[in-house]
Amino acid sequence: MSTTDRYAVFGSPIKHSKSPRIHRLFAEQTGQALSYEALEVTAEAFPDEVGGFFAAGGKGLNCTVPLKELAYRFAGVKTERAERSKAVNTLALQTDGTVLGDNTDGCGLVTDLLSNHQLTLAGKRVLILGAGGASRGIIGPILEQAPSRLVIANRTADKAVSLAEEFSTRGDISGCGFEALAQSQFDLILNATSASLSGQLPPLPDHLLAGQGSCYDLAYGNEPTAFVRWGIAHGARLSLDGLGMLVEQAAEAFLIWRGVRPQTRPVIELLDQERK
């Protein structure tokens, strides 16, 4: 039997995932022997595939769209941040045979903002666009940074309102529809809608971004996303996509699995170079 520990990312579609490349670079950098592959797994196939993966000796999994809620339900033990976001992107086999579920998306985002881009959140007015799974995963870690105000805006306003209510004991947070943003300004706008993936943008008022404000799209691509372009067109100091978050959330998963946190900067720089 192979002594190489086996890891994978499950999702659908998964063909263009950068996770295998990132984790192989981490393994090389830290001198760890492991394999990491991307496997096309639909929601319907997930229960069988995840059970089969761990039964066959797999050590850890990343789960991406559309599997994060299913991974949350599968995990036998969950971290507090996974419980709060009700979504899991990292599964890890533990020595007692249980499978731990964690969500490293939010801390990956916050690390990218703070450490890689020196963007502080404390005392800042922050807007999150979208009230789906991606938004849910980042609200807790953002509130921990003590923004002066956090607003969730969504096409379906009710979803933003109820999501904000869920987190209301933890900071100044409210939810609304896009039309309610007309008179507001923010220091940081985060796009957590899936609109970017189809090249679309939520309807945003022109003066939404405060002077010196910045934009961040959780999505990434080889070309600037529609929201990154919106940020540039509206004078953002920084208008970033989610490549840094992707690498930082992967580093957190690697830490959970292997007990060592790899250097992320060289990996972000390499992947950024490769898309230019």
Residue number with the smallest Cβ distance to ligand ATR:
132
Cβ closer to ligand ATR: 72 or 257? 72
Contacts of 108 (CB under 8 A, 6+ apart): 245, 246, 247, 248, 249, 250, 251, 252
Cβ closer to ligand ATR: 231 or 262? 231
Tell me whether residue 68 is one of the annotated catalytic residues: yes
Q: How far is the CB of 93 from ligand ATR (least distance, A)?
A: 25
Instruction: Judge contact between 115 and 107, C-beta under 8 A.
Output: no
Q: What is the three-class DSSP state of 169?
A: helix
Binding stretches for ligand ATR (CB under 6 A): 65, 130-135, 154-156, 159, 193-195, 200, 202
Q: How far is the CB of 249 from ligand ATR (least distance, A)?
A: 14
Enclosing H/E stretch for 83: helix 80-85
Q: Which of 15, 18, 59, 68 is catalytic?
A: 68
Q: How far is the CB of 73 from ligand ATR (least distance, A)?
A: 15
Cβ closer to ligand ATR: 4 or 156? 156
Instruction: Judge contact between 201 and 226, C-beta under 8 A.
Output: yes
Calpha distance 192→175 (Å, rounded): 14
Q: Cite the active site residues.
A: 68
